[in-house]
Structure formats: structure tokens, C-alpha cells
Amino acid sequence: MDLQPQQVLRLRIPLEDFIAMGPGKATLLEAILETGSISAAGRRLGMSYRKAWQLVDQMNHCFTSPVVTAMTGGVGGGGARVTELGLEALRQYRALETRAWEAIQPGLGAFSRLLQQP
């Protein structure tokens, strides 16, 4: 089997009734980082602006301080910036994924021997 981490593992970090961070939110943060805009990030991920904004709002309420700040005004009408805390949360989340993925490698190899060979 030639599996990718995202095919096998999903990590969701809950805080009370919300998901503070998960695969969708991490990907959205990365897209905001690259596009500098919540709406452009949402478009890239096939997500409405409303949905993208909701996810950002949930994250902003889960962390000790906002992970994304909106910049209003200026040429182009604003944009959005991933904060230092947002970068740190993203880095730590991806590191958790990697750590879990590495930990299951030997067991995954053994498990695959129980499966039909494609």
C-alpha cells in the first residue's frame, strides 16, 4: 500500500462543542496564508465566503487570541492575515499528524498483509 497520511489519519482537536483544529480548518489556514484573503482561500477550497468566515470565527474563539485577523480598507479592500498564534497552531497541528503517522507505520505495514493485494 502506498498511502498518504491524509487518507488514513484525521486529527480533530475539540474544545467543548467546537473543533478548534482539524483537517478542514488547517487547510483553510494554509490557504489564507497563501492568498492573504478569507474569500480567496474559500474559493480555492470550493467553500462559500460565509462558510470560510464561520470556520475562521470558530477558530478565533477557540484559541487564546485570534488565529486570523481581517485587515479592513486600503487598496483591494482589506484581506486577512494569519497571526503568529495561527502559524504556531498550524505548525503544531501538522507536527501532531506527522507524529501519529510515523507511529503507525510499522503497524500499518503489518495490517496491510491482512488485506487483498490490489
Residues that bind a copy of itself (CB under 8 A): 1, 3, 7-16, 20-21, 61-64, 85, 88-89, 92-93, 95-96, 99-100, 102-104, 107-108, 110-112, 114-116, 118
Cβ-based neighbours of 43, under 8 Å, separated by 6 or more: none
- Cell 470558530 -> residue: 58
In the complex, the smallest distance separating the C-beta of residue 74 from a copy of itself, rounded to whole angstroms, is 29
Closest approach of a copy of itself to the CB of residue 92, in Å? 5
Q: How far is the CB of 10 from a copy of itself (least distance, A)?
A: 4
Burial class (CB in 10 A: 0-12, 13-18, 19+), 65: exposed
* CB-nearer residue toward a copy of itself: 50 or 61: 61
CA distance 36 to 27: 14
Cα–Cα distance for residue pair 108/104, rounded to 1 Å: 6
Q: Residue 103 Cβ, how far from a copy of itself at the closest point, in Å?
A: 3
Nearer to a copy of itself, 75 or 114 (CB): 114
